[in-house]
Structure 1
Amino acid sequence: MAQTSLQFWKPGSEERRLRIFISHRYENDEELYEQVRRALDSQGFAVQDVSLSAKEQMAGPRGGELPKLEIQANIAARIYTSDILIAPSRVGAGRSEWVTWEVQLAAIGYAIPILFVDHGEDQQRRTALISEVASLGLPHAVCGRVAHEIVPKVIKLVGGRPDWTMRDREDDKVIRYRGPPASARDDVLKKFPFEARLRPVDPGPTKPKNGIWPFS
């Protein structure tokens, strides 16, 4: 079936899908983030989740574990091509090597806004990462574990409907590109290409033209 070319997006063509990276996502958070995606969609913000889910394992060609640096390169490319990073605010998150590294990379390395989400209403303390990010004046916010709080925070941090992209090279000889390895970035964009907000439209089956022969 033929489809219109709305799936892939180019800068300046139209609004694209909102790219979100969820830091160190746990299986018990899936319901919350699915609710967030639905809530954003109801506001006209189609979501493209580029995070590494709890069920997704990065394995080499022979099924073995990849070197840590190669995994970090892939995650760095996912974060670099995201519009916002969502991270847990609980104290334990700051003790996680991966959450700390992802937050630091997003905030300091790539200047990507971060939304810290509370674990629940009974949460009394928050990770020190929040105060550290705040002390540097980096874009961030903290909210409760409910979609109606998360959605407006995401929209405000991102700065509205996305219609921009990020640098993937520098053609000017006096300027240097600083970002994740090109190989990792290309792999991520091959798996998660930039997509227009509107999904491809299926025009449906076309009627065959009448010919001379009865079965043409």
Structure 2
Amino acid sequence: MRLHLRALVGLATLAGAFLLSTPLPAQAALTTAGTYRGEGDDVVRIPATSKPSIVKLTHQGESNFAVWTLTTSGKQVDLLANTIGDYRGTAAFNVNGTNKIRSLSVTADGAWTLQVLPISKARYWAIKAKGSGSDVLRLTTASKGLRRLTIRHSGESNFAVWALDDRGQYLNLLVNKIGTYKGRVVLPSGTRYATITADGAWTISRG
């Protein structure tokens, strides 16, 4: 009987050592205020907010990278990114309604970063803005009167530009095309922000 007990104790000790040595799945780490880093799939808890905000995203991997905003009840609201492989871009959320966002759901096969900021921290929009991929732009004050935009895009996928008002809410869809685009559109009076969805290089000039 003592031999059996010793054997059982030995097995329990080995099992405990195995469990302690087995690494747990990596979880997102808050590195600085509003910045989260991780690897692979995760659900990142952020301070709950119903205000318009932006997320700066990066991913280093070879497979699908997708990020959704989730409400306090777990409902998917805004698709911030959905691409294959490496990615760098900025997307806005809470710009169409007053959902209370509590988490970001990440699908990834590589390392990623998420930086959550108020929409007022979007990139400054001078007379001419240029970039590559998705972005969010900010005017110093809301536009007034009749203005026009000259817009160019060189890419293969969806290219869309939305005008947002001073509160950061959707105002008007300016462009929604597939692939290469060149044209002029009206900048609606009251525009303060613009969101760009793109897979290629683009320029937007105010005139």
Which interval holds the TM-score relative to the shorter structure? under 0.3
Higher relative contact order (CA 8 A, sep 6+): 1
> Which is richer in helix?
1
The TM-score, its normalising length taken from structure 1, stands at 0.26
- TM-score after normalising by structure 2: 0.27
Higher strand share: 2
